[in-house]
Amino acid sequence: MLKELYIKNLAIIEEAVIPFGEHFNVFTGETGAGKSILINGINSVLGQRVTKDIVRSGCDKAVITAFFTDLSEECCQRLDSMGISHEEGQLTLSREIRSDGGSTARINGKATAVALLKEVTEGLVNIHGQHDNRILMETERHIDILDRFGGLEKQIEAYRQEFRELQTVSRRLRSKSIEYKEKRERADKLNEAVKEIGEAAPKEREDERLAEELSEAQNAEYILEGLYFAGNSLNGEEGSAAEIISQAKRRLEDLSDLTDRYAALTERLESVRIELVDIAEDIERSTSGIDNDPGRLAALSARSDTLEYLKDKYGPDLEDVRKHFESAKAELAEQDDLSSVLEELTAKRTELLHRVSVKAKELSAERERTAERFAEAVEGELSFLDMPGVKIKARITHGNLTEKGMDSVEFLISANRGEELRPLAKTASGGELSRIMLALKNVIPDEAHTMIFDEIDTGVSGRAAQKIAVKLKNVSRSRQVLCVTHLPQIAAAADDHLLIEKKSDDSRTYTHVTPLDREGRRKEIARIMVGESITPTALENADELMDSFERSKT
């Protein structure tokens, strides 16, 4: 439990040491006196977020220290797992908030991360403020309340583990399916390339040679005409170059009877004639290599078109086409076969979906049973809290699988007999919400040994206030209760009463926290009843209220 709270330079509290009893503690005081500041101070040592504005004006820092004793076994086990000492079941938590916005924390005097405070104090203190009523206004939170009431945490966690595994497998299956599709599309393109290039089987530099052959085939007739003309010109009948050279040679030979001077020229002419005849024969042989067949021209044109198509698609050069062919074959050979992986993942997802669905149905059935007990328990609490005609129902609807199962839960309420059940979030008043939340605090298991209620009496008065006081008193018999209140009935039920007062001198405003004795409580409860002008009747009524709770102890 929270044994003592030390505060220095927190808002308008200059310095205060606040002791707490082990049962029912109340804070009272005028509006603005600083009661909420105490709750903010407790929140800060529990690791909650605070701002630099909380530091008292003109001070460098605010310091809040909480001293806890009689720690529960669960809390001690958690501290042991964190390596935090707790001699004699005691724990000291401190928080410093600097005016520049910085913050430091200490556990048992040793510096630590602020975030660790929240982890250490989990289950140590449960604070309920007016804002907590918003939980009831948020329909999506109703399922959590029902599950906590039913103690379904382990069952939900078992389901959640299976559901998360299903999500993981489903994500992997989607990823692998996309990968498989991409690889299949890639494989289709690779197979197309291998097929097209493989069937064409282009040779090295074939396109260059083919260009020459195609040009020759396209101009075969013209080439033949040229060759025939050149051959006849060199070694034909009358008028050919060979015949003319032969004539020249014969004339030089006629001169040989007169002189040897032209013998060498004669030999040279003979050599030229022989060369011309040889060239002419080569030209004649060349004509036999010229194919003027239209079919061949068509074949060469078709082959050229094929190579140009391949170069356009896989080139730009024919050598690039040949390289693409080899790389495509190699890539196809290396591709993983994902089909077996997909089959395995699909089977696993199907199995997990079945298991998760079964667990979700079991969880849903358990919630249906829990909803009946929940309604009965809450109605019983609310009947005591002066809402005897109230009807509560946890309406469960089924939908898609989520981390919380297949259910959605919404609380319905009928505040008066004869009225139909309507959504609680839309119809409950502020006073009803406060009493419903108090009822939930009583019926839902909570390991926290210290419970703090910040103005749970909002919108409540008269007999309902008396009932809330009795309920809080009952709760305090098994755990420590701290309550900020404006109601005399709740103040009268306290075992320990702290008065929060705001006082001012010529320069500053100060908040004082004073533990009240019997007489002090009497006056303060009377003040709450009638204001500053306390009457003897108000004092008598205060005595009667306190006496009624004193008598209830016996």
Distance separating alpha carbons of residues 396 and 380, to the nearest angstrom = 21
Neighbour-count burial of 532, counting CB atoms closer than 10 A to its CB (0-12 exposed, 13-18 middle, 19+ buried): exposed
Distance separating alpha carbons of residues 104 and 96, to the nearest angstrom = 5
Q: What is the DSSP string of 278-329?
A: HHHHHHHHHHHH----HHHHHHHHHHHHHHHHHHHHH-SSHHHHHHHHHHHH
Predicted pLDDT at 250: 85
Distance separating alpha carbons of residues 146 and 368, to the nearest angstrom = 10
Contact criterion met (CB below 8 Å) for 151 and 310: no
Predicted pLDDT at 455: 66
Residue spans of the domains in the chain: they are 183-334
Predicted pLDDT at 86: 85
**Which residue intervals of 201-219 are DSSP H helices?**
206-218
Residue the block writes with tokens 């009935």: 489
Neighbour-count burial of 337, counting CB atoms closer than 10 A to its CB (0-12 exposed, 13-18 middle, 19+ buried): exposed
Write the DSSP symbol of residue 55: B
Residue the block writes with tokens 């707490």: 20
Neighbour-count burial of 236, counting CB atoms closer than 10 A to its CB (0-12 exposed, 13-18 middle, 19+ buried): middle
Predicted pLDDT at 554: 47
Neighbour-count burial of 44, counting CB atoms closer than 10 A to its CB (0-12 exposed, 13-18 middle, 19+ buried): buried
Q: From first to last of its 554 residues, what are the pLDDT tens digits of the chain?
A: 899 999 998 888 888 888 999 999 999 888 766 677 888 888 888 888 888 888 888 888 999 999 999 888 878 888 888 888 888 888 899 999 998 888 888 998 888 888 888 888 877 887 776 556 677 888 998 999 999 999 999 999 999 999 999 999 999 999 989 888 888 888 889 888 889 988 889 999 888 888 887 877 777 677 777 777 877 888 776 678 878 888 888 888 888 877 888 888 888 988 888 888 888 888 878 777 676 677 777 888 888 888 889 989 988 999 999 999 999 888 887 666 777 888 899 999 999 999 999 999 999 999 999 999 999 999 998 888 888 888 999 999 999 999 999 999 999 998 888 788 998 888 877 777 778 888 888 888 666 788 888 767 767 777 888 888 888 888 888 889 998 888 899 999 999 999 988 877 767 777 888 899 999 999 999 998 888 888 899 999 999 989 888 876 64
Contact criterion met (CB below 8 Å) for 54 and 40: yes
Distance separating alpha carbons of residues 99 and 115, to the nearest angstrom = 20
Distance separating alpha carbons of residues 216 and 43, to the nearest angstrom = 98
